[in-house]
Amino acid sequence: MGHGLAARLHGTLAAMPTRPPIDAAGFVQLVASAYPDLGAELDEDEGLETVQMRTFCEHTQTAIDRGDIGVVVTCFDIADRVIADGDDAMTHAIHVSFLEELDFRGSHGSAAFTKLTPALQKGWRDINEYMETLLDGEWTWKGPANTREG
């Protein structure tokens, strides 16, 4: 009896449609669901994923700088969702226009840095290692104090 249930459940799950990857419009929807004003600002730059991501990064950096960890966590949750479910363009934008730009060296940086999800931590380290290699060591890691990167 248990095998029949498992087979039916597997068949049901296999028949469920998968969600399409998060594209730029999906990213704007995610951001707007948490921050309607920011979503409206992102709408103005429709079709410019890296510009939209930079605007999102500035919003996140402002929260880091003022120590608003609740906003930081929400932003990191959005970014983590894009890393996990984003299309190639959005995943690239998260790396080059978000993770590469965040600065954790300020007074609230350590607290914010600890809120990075494992996927964002990996992405942050990967983009910094890439930039360091690309620029022959002439890259400044913007991690908090007490880290290899800070």
Percent of the chain with pLDDT over 70: 85
* Domain-located, residue 148: no
Q: What is the pLDDT of residue 50?
A: 86
Q: What is the pLDDT of residues 95-136, one digit of tens each?
A: 999 999 999 999 999 999 999 999 999 999 999 999 999 999
* Domain-located, residue 139: no
* Domain-located, residue 62: yes
- Tell me the sheet residues that pair with 22: 86
The total number of structural domains in the chain stands at: 1
The whole-chain average pLDDT of the chain stands at: 88
Q: Tally Cβ neighbours within 10 Å of residue 43.
A: 13
* Domain-located, residue 74: yes
Global confidence as pTM? 0.84
Residues 27 and 52 sit within 8 Å (Cβ to Cβ): yes
- Residues 74-81, mean pLDDT to the nearest whole number: 97
* Domain-located, residue 47: yes
Q: What is the pLDDT of residue 110?
A: 95
Q: Is the pLDDT of residue 79 over 80?
A: yes
* Domain-located, residue 10: no
Q: What is the pLDDT of residues 33-59, one digit of tens each?
A: 999 999 889 999 988 888 999 999 999
- State the pLDDT confidence band at 137, using cuts at 50, 70 and 90: confident
Q: Please work out, in degrees rounded to the nearest 5, the angle formed at the alpha carbon of residue 142 by the alpha carbons of 24 and 56.
A: 25
Enclosing domain of residue 99: 21-134
Q: Three-state SS string across 44-70, please? A: CCCCCHHHHHHHHHHHHHHHHHHCCHH
Residues 108 and 64 sit within 8 Å (Cβ to Cβ): yes
